[in-house]
């Protein structure tokens, strides 16, 4: 267990980065579970497909979390990896939503959504590691 104390701002930042990881993981599980629901309960799955606003809400939430969490994190550590991974994931997630709108099979939507969510989660995890584990930074940056 760690014996050092953290400021309230550090605790909030820590919680936000963990929330980003958690929400991205939940999104990935949702995307992977959707085709299973299509197979097991076709009637329920049709009702879920008609709730297109859920996909857009998840996309907006991911974009917002990236803007308010990952962009400031980039300003802290100046390593673009986390931002690039999550941005790529957001684009793949958007491609999954568009695939559903244009009428491609739910499998395409689910695969793209799952892959995009995993990339977003990896980006949040990477940002979390860089911020909260100074050993992940070069020595000169960790000392500041």
The pLDDT of residue 84? 93
Closest by CA to 77, choosing from 130, 113, 128, 35, is: 130
The pLDDT of residue 75? 81
The residue length of the chain stands at 144
The pLDDT of residue 48? 62
Interacting residues of 117 by C-beta distance below 8 A, sequence separation 6+: 24, 25, 27, 28, 30, 31, 62, 89, 93
The pLDDT of residue 90? 93
Mean pLDDT, consecutive 10-residue stretches, the chain (144 aa), reads 65 77 78 73 65 80 84 82 92 91 83 89 86 60 50
Secondary structure percentages of the chain, helix, strand, coil, to 5: 85, 0, 15
């Amino acid at each position: 267990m760690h014996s050092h104390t953290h400021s309230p701002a550090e605790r909030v930042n820590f919680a936000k980065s963990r929330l980003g990881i958690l929400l991205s993981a939940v999104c990935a599980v949702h995307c992977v579970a959707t085709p299973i629901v299509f197979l097991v309960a076709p009637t329920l799955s049709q009702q879920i497909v008609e709730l297109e606003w859920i996909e857009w809400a998840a996309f907006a939430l991911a974009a917002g979390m990236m803007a308010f969490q990952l962009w400031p994190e980039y300003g802290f550590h100046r390593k673009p990896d986390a931002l690039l991974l999550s941005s790529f994931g957001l684009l793949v997630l958007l491609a999954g939503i568009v695939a559903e709108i244009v009428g491609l099979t739910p499998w395409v939507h689910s695969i793209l959504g799952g892959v995009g969510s995993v990339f977003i989660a990896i980006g949040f995890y990477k940002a979390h590691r860089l911020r909260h584990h100074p050993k992940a930074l070069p020595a000169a940056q960790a000392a500041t």
